Structure 1
Amino acid sequence: MKNITVVEPLFVSAFQCIGSECRDHCCKGWNINLDKPTVNRYLKSSQIEIKTLAVENIDITRKSYASWGTMKLTASGNCAFMDESRLCKVHASLGASALSNTCATYPRKSRIFKTEQQKTLMISCPEAARQLLTSPDAMLFEETIKPQAETFKAKNLDQQKKLLNLMCLNIVKVSAEKLDEGFYALTSFLLGAERISPEKDWLEQMERHFSAVLDSLAQGHIRQQLDQVKPDHNLQWSLLMRLQGWFGGMTHKRAFPTLYHYLNKLIYIQTEGAKTDHVSQPMIRLDTVWQKQVMPWLAERPWIMNNYIQYRIYEDFFPNDESRSPLMSLYLLTAEWFLLKSLIAATVELVGTIDEEDIINIIYSFHSITKHNPESVMAFVAEINKVKVNDDLSLIYLLK
């Protein structure tokens, strides 16, 4: 028996499902894969209602042990096991231990290394998103040591990659509500990190470089550099139009009605710009609202969006995705941020007010559609890639 360090943000350890009180429950609009033992358990259940529902509503696919069957959805898009109170009949009659792995674990997930487990939550769950965004301490980390019998099967945690991730988290945290500065500082940090040899005094050089970037943030040098960048309204316009078109094909997905409520406002503002053939007009309009109305509101609640970007960096183990370069990972993260920022600004422009509920709704519904499974992530990334111009540094033009 070996020990493993369990790392989790406070919002993860504080999370509890709120059941029927959830604003958009997780038992609808998604394919629910059932593992082989669960399929057999339901089909052979002594509870007549469970057995009957299973026989009538489980498609036996035998794709794999973990995906032995798929739950059919009702005409309203709900899991057949959900009752009138939006609670699970399986949980009520057979207990939590009878749930499939999918249902028992969502929204929890983790990365496991030989000596460390990093826990997180999927914020396609509205309650997880609420706890992340509304608690100032949500992204503070706590560590516990636990015995773990199977750690030897996991891969080693690369300490250099972990340090890069922690440094990126701290750069964002220091930027508070000024996330445009945080993204620009991350760009400077990653560019400098590329020039540091991984073999010669790497740790010492990285610490000096990290401190220099933090100093640039604190002393206003990052702000000065960012102010010299001229916005590329055509790039901004093209990205938003591309993503709006992609979302249009997601109408069958869970949480789409919620996202569309906000997306429709952004579409309206962009349509007004299209009528005059000046794509810069709606971009300037959105940025003006952001600077004059949203930023003062965020200044009083600097943790809200800062927690979100910290979460994204932690969740993705940014910038260490082996399938792309660190700068490409930053480009994709910046593009997502620009879309969310635009949705928030469009809402404030047309409604006149902003509150936490709007931001929670935008973020959980965005994640429900774009982050729920690897296929969704790949498709969304592909759309963003179609707009990229020149190189990954075009991300800078999304910060203005």
Structure 2
Amino acid sequence: MKNITVIEPQFVSVFQCIGSECRDHCCKGWDITLDKPTVNRYLKSSRIEIKTLAAENIVTTRRSYENWGKMKLNTAGNCAFLDEARLCKVHSELGASALSPTCATYPRGAKIFKYEKQKSLALSCPEAARQLLSSPDAMLFEQTNYLQPEANKAQELDQEKKLLNLMCLNIVKYSGEHIDEAFYALASFLLYTGKVNDADDRVAKLEDYFAQTISSLTQGGIRQQLDQVKPDYNLQWSLLLRMQTYFGGITKLRGLPMLDHYINKLIYIQTEGAKNNDINQSMVRLENAWQSKMMPWFAERPWVMNNYIQYRIYDSFFPGDDSLTPLMKLYLLTADWFLLKSLIAASVEMVGQVDEDDIINIIYSYHSVTKHTAKSALAFVAEINKTKVNDDLSLIYLLK
């Protein structure tokens, strides 16, 4: 028997689907793929309505065992099995066990290693986003163990990468509501990890520099260094335009109408600056809104965005695999943060007050459009990566 460790943040362990109460249900606007047993189960169902709906709305693709069919969406963009109360007819008539793997597991997911499983939730689910952002303890980790006959058929967990991931999580945690300081500290820490090559005492050196980084965060040293950085408004403006161009080319995708609602507020502020031929005006206006309206609100709720960045580091096992350099990954994460920050700042500037629902709406819809599938994530990464200036350290110019 093999001992398997299961890690999950608290918001993952307490998550429950809220069904028809959800602000934007997951049965519309996306391709819903069905595996072979599910297709056959629905087409041969003893329930006439299920069988009829399946025959009329399942397109048999036979691309693979897991992708044997796809649901056609109706004129409203909904799955044909969705009833008037926005509940699943398959679930209500056949039970949860009859759901396809896609429907049964979403928004749940996990990274599987040989002896460890790291559970998570997709933030394209509005309720998952709400749970993450609204609870101070959402990113507290829970660990359980169980026995199974064999180890998981997956690679063994790299212990140094796990150590780096935990260190990065704690750097963010210690920054509280000051996420800009977290990113600056992470950049400094990752630069150092890239320079330490002595295998004999590498871990000891990393632990020592990590302790120094935490001390600099808590004692104000990181703040002093960050205050010396001057913003690059051209880089910031370029990134916002890239985002708007990218989203403008997308149609009929779940979450996009909600995201557009907030993008339009941002566009209005940018347009005002463009009228005066002064892009700096718009960027300064957004930063002032963030500092004067959002930061006091976050000071009373320091977990809100801190939980979000911790989630991103945990969910991606940052700095993770070797497909991209750690600094490149940090640049992309910082770009995401800057875009979300700009959308939130534009909303509070236009509306005049802070509403937690706006933050939830922005984050879940952003993830729906940019993070829901590997394909969408890669496309968005390629777009925002075009705005880099010289190297990955241009990320620091997005923090001011």
**In structure 1, how many angstroms separate the alpha carbons of the residues matched to 2:106 and 2:335?**
27
| CA displacement at 1:323 relative to structure 2 | 1.4
Aligned twin of 1:160? 160
1:147 is paired with a residue whose SS is strand
Amino acid at match of 1:117: K
Aligned twin of 2:182? 182
Inter-CA distance 131–198: structure 2 relative to 1 (3 Å threshold): farther
Aligned twin of 1:171? 171
Identical counterparts, % of pairs: 70
Aligned twin of 1:75? 75
Aligned twin of 2:204? 204
- The answer to whether structure 1 residue 16 and structure 2 residue 16 are counterparts is yes
Inter-CA distance 214–156: structure 2 relative to 1 (3 Å threshold): same
Aligned twin of 1:136? 136
Matches within 5 A, 1:295-374: 295-374=295-374
| CA displacement at 1:2 relative to structure 2 | 1.4
**In structure 1, how many angstroms separate the alpha carbons of the residues matched to 2:94 and 2:252?**
31
Give deviations 1:184-242, integer Å, cap 9, x for gaps. Answer: 00000000111111622121111001001111111111111100001000000000011
CA contact (8 A) 2:112 2:152 kept: no
Amino acid at match of 1:122: A
**In structure 1, how many angstroms separate the alpha carbons of the residues matched to 2:72 and 2:252?**
14
**In structure 2, how many angstroms separate the alpha carbons of the residues matched to 1:229 and 1:93?**
60
Give deviations 1:37-96, integer Å, cap 9, x for gaps. Answer: 000110111111111111100001011110000000000000000001100000111111
| CA displacement at 1:23 relative to structure 2 | 0.5
What value does the CA root-mean-square deviation take over the aligned residues?
0.8
List structure 1 segments (4+ residues) > 2 angstroms apart after TM superposition.
Answer: 148-152
**In structure 2, how many angstroms separate the alpha carbons of the residues matched to 1:152 and 1:320?**
19
- The answer to whether structure 1 residue 148 and structure 2 residue 155 are counterparts is no
**In structure 2, how many angstroms separate the alpha carbons of the residues matched to 1:318 and 1:149?**
30
Aligned twin of 2:243? 243
Amino acid at match of 1:291: Q
Aligned twin of 1:57? 57
Amino acid at match of 1:204: A
CA contact (8 A) 2:370 2:377 kept: yes
Give deviations 1:306-340, integer Å, cap 9, x for gaps. Answer: 00000000000011132100000000000000000
Matches within 5 A, 1:25-64: 25-64=25-64
**In structure 2, how many angstroms separate the alpha carbons of the residues matched to 1:65 and 1:95?**
23
**In structure 1, how many angstroms separate the alpha carbons of the residues matched to 2:47 and 2:346?**
50
**In structure 2, how many angstroms separate the alpha carbons of the residues matched to 1:198 and 1:98?**
54
1:151 is paired with a residue whose SS is coil
TM-score, length basis structure 2: 0.99
Give deviations 1:236-280, integer Å, cap 9, x for gaps. Answer: 000001111101122311011111111100010011111111111
Tell me how many residue pairs correspond in the alignment. Answer: 400
Inter-CA distance 347–152: structure 2 relative to 1 (3 Å threshold): closer
| CA displacement at 1:149 relative to structure 2 | 3.6
2:368 is paired with a residue whose SS is helix
**In structure 2, how many angstroms separate the alpha carbons of the residues matched to 1:64 and 1:298?**
47
Aligned twin of 1:259? 259
Amino acid at match of 2:204: E
1:138 is paired with a residue whose SS is coil
Which deviates the most, 198-207 or 278-287? 198-207
CA contact (8 A) 1:176 1:306 kept: yes
Give deviations 1:362-397, integer Å, cap 9, x for gaps. Answer: 000000110100001000001111111100000000
**In structure 1, how many angstroms separate the alpha carbons of the residues matched to 2:397 and 2:281?**
16
Aligned twin of 1:3? 3
**In structure 1, how many angstroms separate the alpha carbons of the residues matched to 2:165 and 2:85?**
42
**In structure 2, how many angstroms separate the alpha carbons of the residues matched to 1:198 and 1:263?**
48
| CA displacement at 1:150 relative to structure 2 | 4.6
Aligned twin of 2:104? 104
Aligned twin of 1:292? 292
Amino acid at match of 2:384: I
**In structure 2, how many angstroms separate the alpha carbons of the residues matched to 1:59 and 1:332?**
37
CA contact (8 A) 1:321 1:329 kept: no
Structure 1: gaps of 5 or more residues: none
CA contact (8 A) 1:31 1:70 kept: yes
CA contact (8 A) 1:35 1:69 kept: yes
